[in-house]
Copies of this chain bind each other. A is one copy, B any other.
Amino acid sequence: MSKLSGIPMEGLTNRKFWGIKSEIRVMGIDDGPFVAHTKGKALLVGTVFRGGQWLDGILRTYVDIDGTDATQKIIDMVNKSRHKGQLRVIMTDGVTFGGFNVIDIQEIFRQTGIPVIVVSRKMPDFSKVKKALKNLPDWQERWRMLRTAGKIHQVRSKPRAAPVCVQVAGINLADAEQIVKLTSTRSLVPEPLRVAHLIATGIILGESVGGV
């Protein structure tokens, strides 16, 4: 049994990356803006990139605001994609989408076979998150899933740049770090996530915000 950041993996070991190609296929997932604490859905956009350069495809799904379906929706989106066979890594912007719809990155790795790298620009404030989760049904289960993302590592995508926070499932930190650096071609965040953010905000609001 292998161990990932202290989480037992039930027989699944980390993917080995024997040299990371500059055109490695990476999916970046981010959500669009939504009205918090309502019953609606949030848009989830997945970009398929060749390294930090070319966009090969776009996927989308919807998740319940403050719901519990994001893990399964992402697994389905990835497993149904025609890009699945070429995909080597999934990157997500944080571990919650549509408010507090928490994703279980170990489960995503188990069900897709593709390692997951969580990238956050800010260090998550877990005491604040835990407090917020307690207002929701199944808060203990949400908290457990959030904790399976494991230890937070700081990675500098560029020398002298502010570090980003990284959590991993199914991939060694050194490989994850290399992929974050390789794909951060245009800004401090990997290009698959920067572009997923532009698309998700642009489609919902009419014009994208941020993205630099």
Query: How far apart are the CA atoms of A23 and B48 in the complex, in Å?
Result: 23
B206/A59 in contact, CB under 8 A = yes
| Copies of this chain per assembly | 2
Q: Which chain B residues border A207 with CB–CB below 8 Å? A: 57-60, 80-82
Any B CB within 8 A of the CB of A92: no
User: What separation, in Å, do the CA atoms of A82 and B81 have in the docked complex?
Assistant: 34
* Shortest Cβ distance from residue A199 to the other chain B in the assembled complex, whole angstroms: 5
Tell me if A's interface is mostly helix, strand, loop or mixed: mixed
Contact B61 A206 (CB under 8 A): yes
* Cα–Cα, bound, A79→B207 (Å): 12
Query: A17 interface residue, CB < 8 Å from B?
Result: no
Contact A59 B202, CB 8 Å, known A54-B186, A186-B54:
yes
Q: Mark A53-74, 1 if CB is under 8 A from B, else 0.
A: 0111111110000000000000
Proximity string of chain A (190-212) to chain B, C-beta cutoff 8 Å, 1 when within and 0 when not: 00000100110111001110010
Interface pair B54/A202, CB less than 8 Å apart: no
Q: How many whole Å from A67's CB to the nearest CB in chain B?
A: 19
Binary flags per residue of A158-186, CB closer than 8 Å to B gives 1, else 0:
00000000000000000000000000001
Contact A57 B211 (CB under 8 A): yes
Q: Determine the chain B residues whose CB is within 8 A of the CB of A203 once the complex forms.
A: 45, 58, 60, 199, 203
Q: Which B residues are in CB contact (< 8 Å) with A201?
A: 58
Given contact pairs A55-B55, A58-B199, A61-B206, enumerate 8 new A-B contacts (beta carbons under 8 Å): A45-B202, A58-B203, A59-B202, A60-B203, A77-B206, A82-B207, A199-B199, A199-B203
- Residue pairs across A and B with Cβ atoms less than 8 A apart, 5 shown, are A45-B203, A57-B202, A58-B202, A58-B208, A203-B203
